[in-house]
Amino acid sequence: MITQSALVSFDRLETPFYYYDMDVLRSTVDNFSSTLRKYGITAHYAVKANSNDRILQTISGAGLQAECATGNEISLAIANGFPPEGIFFDGVAKTDREIVNALKAGIQCFNCESIQELEVIDALAGGLGLKADVAIRVNPDIDAHTHKYITTGTEEDKFGISTWAFDDVFAALSRCHNLQFRGIHMHAGSQITDMNVYAMLCKRAAEFEKIFSEHGYDVQILNLGGGLGVDYEKPLENWMPDIEGLCRTISENLPLKPGQTVHIEPGRALVAECGHIISRVIYVKKGLKKQFAILDCGLHTLIRPALYQAVHQVENLSCKAPVEKYDVVGNVCESSDVFAKDLEGGAPHRGDFFAIHSAGAYGQVMNMKYLQRELAPAVYSDDLK
């Protein structure tokens, strides 16, 4: 949603930059928050999707909790209004220092991914005279049907603990006296738009809950992880993710016992559509059969297309007609640095503003200084008003 008045103010700014439409973010967050309340589900925003202060403050301000992948994300989340007692700490490689700091901060729960991790957290908690609340990240062994690099829930992933190792988990939990078992965690992957995947995840959660209960463990937390997808194909028409569908699917497929709470960890769904990369055309290069619009941003500004063939809508904001066919490419010397192939859009000219849509998630957080280019700044719609 790039308004004409926003476009006028872009004129005085250097490109590229990450443009955040804060009205879109607020509407998305408010819709999540009221839908979640209606279904009694708690969301923990996956900070790794976008960790800008103002984005974190908007999300924490609406009462959502946080999910963090590192100690630094935990500090940042707390500094931006997320209560420590609602923080989940995920990750396959939590270091001793991160664990100690998280224990001291009083986070809600460690989502643990290996037997050795349980033992390390137990020892560190013991050293501090504390008890650590832990959930077991279980590998649900389902295929989320997304790209292979963003699928995390199948048997052969490095993530989570598979059912064949449950006996070792029970043995570890019974010998680790500084751990308090709280529940189970799963995460099937990313960019999931098929609600059948979540329905299947709920069925798995119920199966795992039964196994843990039968072994005498009280499962309070049922955490289904993140992954709710967005519409990268039609972001301007369909920018609100299907949080209603996800909550309904959960309420229909996951029976709860008294005292149990359901949690989800959306990252992308909350922030993808509010973010746009705004870039200028540096050169238009005409070949024999092809035409290229060469932008002043590249894979260091948005790595998703180069990393896993992600599709983003690209739009010439400055010129709508005549329509021509061309490739939109970045400014890095890699042949994978392409944002759109055979785009049919307004004819490109040197200096035209281009938008790459749906760039709010896994965009700026992965910005890098490759080729010694500057990191691109954030521009917030609120500041242009």
Ligand X SMILES: *Cc1c(COP(=O)(O)O)cnc(C)c1O
Number of C-alpha atoms within 13 angstroms, CB side, residue 252? 11
Task: Report, in Å, the least distance between residue 12 CB and ligand X.
Answer: 33
Min separation Cβ 63 and ligand X, Å: 18
Tokens representing 206 are 């119920």
Q: Is 296 in the site for ligand X (CB under 6 A)?
A: no
Residue 270 one-letter amino acid: L
Q: Which is nearer to ligand X, 88 or 380 (CB)?
A: 88
**332-335 LR contacts (CB < 8 Å, sep 24+):** 332/298, 332/299, 332/300, 332/370, 332/371, 334/299, 334/306
Out of 28, 32, 51, 67, which residue is the one contacting ligand X (CB under 6 A)? 67
Please report how close the Cβ of residue 88 comes to ligand X at its closest, in angstroms. Answer: 8
Angle between helices 96-105 and 71-79 (to 10 degrees): 30
Please identify, using beta-carbon distances, which residue of 70 and 313 lies nearer to ligand X: 70
Residue 125 · residue 176 · CB < 8 Å? no
- From residue 208 to residue 247, the character string flagging contacts with ligand X as x (rule: CB under 6 A) and all else as - is -----------------xxxx-------------------
| DSSP H helices in the chain | 4-10, 22-39, 53-61, 71-79, 96-105, 115-128, 166-175, 195-214, 243-253, 268-271, 304-308, 381-384
Q: Which of 274, 353, 277 is nearest to 316 (CA)?
A: 353
- Residues in contact with ligand X, counted by CB under 6 A, come to a total of 17
Percentages helix, strand, coil for the chain, rounded to the nearest 5?
35, 25, 40
Using rule CB under 6 A, residue 49 touches ligand X: yes
Structure tokens at 255: 């029976």
Q: Per DSSP, what are the bridge partners of residue 228?
A: 192
Alpha carbons 102 and 220: distance in angstroms, whole number: 21
Chosen residue from 153, 160, 267, 298 binding ligand X by CB under 6 A? 267
Q: Answer yes or no whether residue 265 interacts with ligand X by CB under 6 A.
A: yes
Q: According to the binding rule CB under 6 A, does residue 90 interact with ligand X?
A: yes
- Write the CB contacts of 319 (distance below 8 Å, at least 6 apart in sequence): 346, 347, 348, 349, 352
Considering the rule CB under 6 A, would residue 134 count as an interface residue with ligand X?
no
Interacting residue with ligand X among 182, 263, 268, 357 (CB under 6 A): 268
Name the segment binding ligand X (CB under 6 A); options: 71-79, 205-213, 267-275, 277-285: 267-275
Span 173-212, contacts to ligand X by CB under 6 A = 187, 190
| Stretch of 1-9, 95-103, 261-269, 302-310 lying at the interface with ligand X (CB under 6 A) | 261-269
The answer to the question of residue 360 lying near ligand X (CB under 6 A) is: no
- Minimum CB–partner distance for residue 220 and ligand X (Å): 19
Tokens representing residue 256 in the block: 């709860």
**What would the x/- binding string for ligand X be over residues 7 to 46, using CB under 6 A?**
---------------------------------------x
**Residue whose CB is less far from ligand X, 150 or 281:** 150
CB 57 to ligand X: min, Å: 19
Q: How many Å from the N-terminal Cα to the C-terminal Cα in the chain?
A: 14
Contact yes or no for 253/218 (Cβ under 8 A): no
Minimum CB separation of residue 352 from ligand X in Å reads: 31
Q: Pick the closer one to ligand X by CB: 187 or 280.
A: 187
CB of 213 to ligand X, least distance (A): 23
Distance from CA of residue 279 to its chain's centroid? 23
Question: Tokens 């005549």 label which residue?
Answer: 322
Q: Provide the minimum distance between the beta carbon of 45 and ligand X in the complex, in angstroms, as a whole number.
A: 9
346 binds ligand X (CB under 6 A): no
Considering beta carbons, is residue 46 or 359 the nearer one to ligand X?
46
Q: Which CB atom, from 25 or from 293, has the smaller least distance to ligand X?
A: 25
Site residues, ligand X (CB under 6 A): 46, 48-49, 67, 90, 187, 190, 225-228, 265-269, 361
